[in-house]
Structure 1
Amino acid sequence: MSNRVLVFYGSYRADRMGIRLAQFVVEGFRARGDDVELIDAREVNLPMLDRMYKEHGKGEAPAVLETLAGKIREADGFVFITGEYNWGVQPGLKNLTDHFLEEWFWRPAAIASYSAGRFAGARAAIAWHGILSEMGMVVVSSTISAGPIAQTLSEGGKPTGEPGKALANAFPRFADDLSWWVEAAREQRARKKPPY
């Protein structure tokens, strides 16, 4: 059975480099036979959070929120591609996730981070772990990171040099970890209704 995986990416910058990591992750899961889709916060272009999806009356949410809520509910698992801004998370990705809550529940998430420097977004990845847990997701322990991203992935998201080789070598464990939890959560949801 193919897993339905959504990959979320949140940079709004003109010369964004993290899209390389998003492409790498999407292609990696596709090569494993998963049904994977990239959700690009800049393309979705949600307004700054005023009302969450659930705060709209039934059938009254803007179409973009309704569509995205459906995709999130139908997904088996998630990957969050995060850059690091001043030791923190990207506002575009945070804004997108905050529009939803219950839609995320009872599914696993994985974190892939990047930066222009050698820390590869590690501080943002740590912050996202707590955020995603609070939003009802099980965050897998395996992570991947790219940094400096320009020396790790080509413009097309292909691994380059020694940093790219290390990233490619780390990906199978990362994907296996998420897939294990995806299968476990799917079986549990089919076996027993979530408690709330």
Structure 2
Amino acid sequence: MAKLEIIIASTRPGRIGLAVGEWFETRAKEHAGFDDIELVDLAEVNLPFMNEPHHPRLGKYTHLHTRDWSAKVAEADAFVFVMPEYNFGYNAELKNAIDYLHREWQYKPVGLVSYGGVSAGTRAAQMIKQVVTTLKMTPVVESVSIPFVHQLLDEEDGLVANDIMIGSATGMLDELARVADALRPLRGAATE
């Protein structure tokens, strides 16, 4: 068993990402492929735009917020990015959070839950794969793409998932657990 961190990328006031992230967290707990599941909200992490003087690959962090973020990412075995699509791409806050670190991301799988209008955030999901593979992360093929996400909200702004979303989440969680186990020896070797 391993730790899964679900990272909510959107920090925009009135965002729908929190509802999507909470829905996915519930699915992940029901799935039971990970013994530790944590919802990490970039709005709460509140990283300033990159302000470290040294390249992240050196791990010489001068700010407490960076050291805290490093510890948070390092303790995970797998990630899910819950991400909107902004202007055919992913949002700046997610890119900033990724760019703060280097070795902490290595040899960990990542699943993508994207949402938006007609495209369901798939263009953003495709774009971020280039970034995560550069950090030696492994994006799993299985994903959850949610089109017309605003139509799936109930009166309390909770997400009401359909069968396709539920099935996609299960498939993605299955694969994340398998790949996290397969990459475990590489993660151990990278920290030695």
TM beyond 0.5:
yes
Residue 195 and residue 156 in structure 1: after superposition, are their counterparts in 2 closer, same or farther (change >3 A)? closer
Structure 1, unmatched stretches of 5+, are none
SS in 2 for 1:109: strand
> What does 1:1-196 correspond to in 2, within 5 Å?
1=1, 3-33=2-32, 34=34, 35-51=36-52, 57=60, 61-115=62-116, 117-154=117-154, 155-159=157-161, 164-190=162-188, 193-194=189-190
- Distance in 1 separating the partners of 2:164 and 2:56: 39
Cα gap change, 1:139 to 1:71, in 2 (>3 Å): same
CA RMSD of aligned residues (A): 2.1
Residue 23 of structure 1 deviates from its aligned partner by 1.1
SS in 2 for 1:171: helix
CA distance in structure 1 between the aligned counterparts of 2:125 and 2:153, rounded to whole angstroms: 19
Aligned length in residues: 186
Q: Structure 2: any 5+ residue segments left out of the alignment?
A: none
TM-score normalised by length of structure 2: 0.87
Alpha carbons of 1:136 and 1:82: their partners in 2 closer, same or farther (altered >3 Å)? Answer: same
Secondary structure in 1 matching 2:7: strand
| Kept in 2: contact 1:5–1:37 (CA 8 A) | yes
Instruction: For 1:129 and 1:54, locate their aligned partners in 2 and report how far apart those are by CA, in whole Å.
Output: 19
Whether the aligned pair in 2 keeps the contact of 1:21 and 1:153 (CA below 8 Å) is no
Pairwise CA distance, 1:64: 2.4
Is the contact between residue 46 and residue 96 of structure 1 (CA under 8 Å) also seen in structure 2?
yes
Report the Cα offset of residue 77 of structure 1: 0.5
8 Å contact 2:84–2:114 — kept in the other structure?
A: yes
Spell out structure 1 runs of 4+ moving beyond 3 A.
Answer: 52-57, 187-190
